[in-house]
Amino acid sequence: MFGKILVANRGEIALRIIYACKELQIPTVAVYSEEDRHSLHVRFADEALCIGPARSQESYLNIPSIISAAEIADVDAIHPGYGFLAESSHFAEVCETCGIKFIGPSAGVMELMGNKARAKKKMSEVGLAIVPGTGIIKEADGKLEQMTAEVGYPLILKAAAGGGGRGMRVVTEPEQLSNALAIAQSEAESAFGSSDIYAERFLENPRHIEFQILADQHGNVVHLGERECTIQRRHQKLIEESPSPFISEELRQELGQKVVLAMKAVGYENVGTVEFLFTPDGSSYFLEMNTRIQVEHPVTEMVTGLDIVKEQIRAAAGEKLRFAQQDITFRGHSIECRINAECPEKFTPSPGRITAFHPPGGPGIRVDSAAFTEYLVSPHYDSLIAKLIAHGSDRQEALARMNRALDLFVIEGIQTLIPLHKKIINHPDFIEGQFDTSFVSRLNS
């Protein structure tokens, strides 16, 4: 097992990793920007080192500063969390070169599967249906119109090096393409350090469902079931749940087996999610793979009883999986609401100081957050301030507990999405499981 782990992230995911390390009795090192010096991940880590100013490019995306901190603290592993450098194959390669274990896939597999365009090609080769799309596109290629014409309209531009809705633009006609590409490239460069963009056919009114996988370094791969991620705004997830109200047990087994075989074919290790779009007729298409821990991993933890962060640390340390596929069981139903610091009507950021913070509790409730009273929500980072997770014996009980928890969640001083979440989970169509990715835009229009 590792002697010391550096946590190359901030906020609730940095705390989540620290919690897992404490249970495994592994000392941790936090890195932080100047703006985050009073954050909880800095307080609760065993050591903490400042790596730069507030701007992400100069701190949490600054590879030389992070590696320097790792060498100063004499760590033998780095956990990237999600976002920032979590899907950077270059960062993983630098870690490997420096003799530091990157807690995630190898640099080579990450380069293959973390790049959305290359991943689609590989998954097509191993038998998964894919949405028609392009390779990396650039305005200067002179082939822009030809490449996108083969895809057809409407199409969607996507960042090849990341996800989370950043670097995405829907284009409905050729005249919009050049401007949309420039905006998507700028967003992608800012968020992921790469401006690579690809295009694919935009499927209207689909459902977004992902399978959680876990793999060790010895060829063992299991899936931990699916998560329904359809409730989104601007291509960013708002609510996730497991199991999906759309997936039958037969389809779960069929797709799960295909996902496991695909991951074995590419030699995948550690955690990741294989994501699909489902059209109204039930057809499924491989969308992308996230080669990291997901924001919504607590949903799966609640229904499986597994600590996914601890399992990925064990896998990175070279341990074999402690269970086979037949050992994975699913208990009840879990739902997660992302509580963002945003205006619930316009989704505009609402940075500022939290003047009161009281998370809910009670049976079946979990809150993952790094916020507290007097916490300053910075405009420099993601707007996520808490993840509210409810678990029940079935979906009805999980929804009832989520309703209760949303009513009792006190956050003052800033605007949050709590009113929107209450509106969504009480909508008859959501209660019946009848929704698609356009649900929120229709609800908020």
Is residue 115 in some structural domain? no
Domain identity same for 402 and 343: yes
Domain identity same for 218 and 191: no
Domain identity same for 252 and 339: yes
Element holding 419 (H helix, E strand): helix 418-425
Q: Which of 201, 216, 239 is the last residue of a domain?
A: 201
Is residue 124 in some structural domain? no
Distance, CA of 96 to CA of 436 (rounded, Å): 41
Kindly give the residue spans of alpha helices, DSSP state H, lying in 98-211.
107-114, 116-125, 144-151, 177-192
Distance, CA of 52 to CA of 50 (rounded, Å): 6
Distance, CA of 185 to CA of 159 (rounded, Å): 7
Distance, CA of 255 to CA of 81 (rounded, Å): 26
Given a contact cutoff of 8 angstroms between Cβ atoms, the answer to whether 369 and 12 are in contact is yes
| Region for residue 219 given its phi and psi (left: phi exceeds 0; alpha: psi -120 to 50; beta: otherwise) | left
Mean pLDDT of 55-71: 97
Whose tokens are 């899907």? That residue is: 87
Domain identity same for 186 and 232: no
Q: Is the pLDDT of residue 26 over 60?
A: yes
Is residue 178 in some structural domain? yes
Is residue 126 in some structural domain? no
Domain identity same for 188 and 236: no
- Place 346 in a pLDDT band, splitting at 50, 70 and 90: confident
Which is catalytic among the residues 166, 207, 292, 401? 292
Domain identity same for 59 and 45: yes
Q: Is the pLDDT of residue 53 over 70?
A: yes
Domain identity same for 426 and 280: yes
- Please report the pLDDT score of residue 151 as a whole number: 82
Residue 212 token pair: 């959680």
Q: Is the pLDDT of residue 197 over 90?
A: no
Q: Is the pLDDT of residue 379 over 80?
A: yes
Question: For residue 215, what are the domain limits?
Answer: 207-443
In tens, the pLDDT along 383-435 reads 999 999 999 999 999 999 999 999 999 999 999 999 999 999 999 999 999 99
* Burial call 312-341: b when 16+ CB within 10 Å, e when fewer: bbbbbbeeebeeeeeebebebbbbbbbbbb
Is residue 122 in some structural domain? no
Q: What is the SS3 assignment for 99?
A: coil
Q: What is the SS3 assignment for 5?
A: strand
Rounded-to-10 torsion of CA 30, 36, 38, 42: -10
292 is a catalytic site residue: yes
Residue 328 token pair: 């994975």
What pTM, to 2 d.p., does this model score? 0.89
Domain identity same for 183 and 215: no
Domain identity same for 72 and 152: no
Distances (CA, A) of 2 to 150, 169, 315: 49, 41, 11
Is residue 28 in some structural domain? yes
Number of domains in the chain: 3
Q: What is the SS3 assignment for 81?
A: coil
Q: Which of 180, 201, 222 is the last residue of a domain?
A: 201
CATH code, domain carrying 39: 3.40.50.20
Mean pLDDT of 337-357: 95
Domain identity same for 183 and 289: no
Residue 146 token pair: 């030809």
CATH code, domain carrying 316: 3.30.470.20
What is the Cβ-side half-sphere exposure of residue 22, based on CA atoms within 13 angstroms? 11
DSSP E strands in 331-379: the ranges are 333-340, 352-353, 356-358, 365-369, 376-377
Residue 81 token pair: 């969390």
In tens, the pLDDT along 269-294 reads 999 999 999 988 888 999 889 999 99
- Please report the pLDDT score of residue 368 as a whole number: 98
Given a contact cutoff of 8 angstroms between Cβ atoms, the answer to whether 5 and 31 are in contact is no
Domain identity same for 237 and 380: yes
Q: Is the pLDDT of residue 162 over 70?
A: no
- Place 163 in a pLDDT band, splitting at 50, 70 and 90: low
Q: Is the pLDDT of residue 140 over 60?
A: no
Low-confidence winner among 17-21, 153-157, 240-244, 375-379 (lowest mean pLDDT)? 153-157
Residue 395 token pair: 């979906």
- Please report the pLDDT score of residue 139 as a whole number: 62
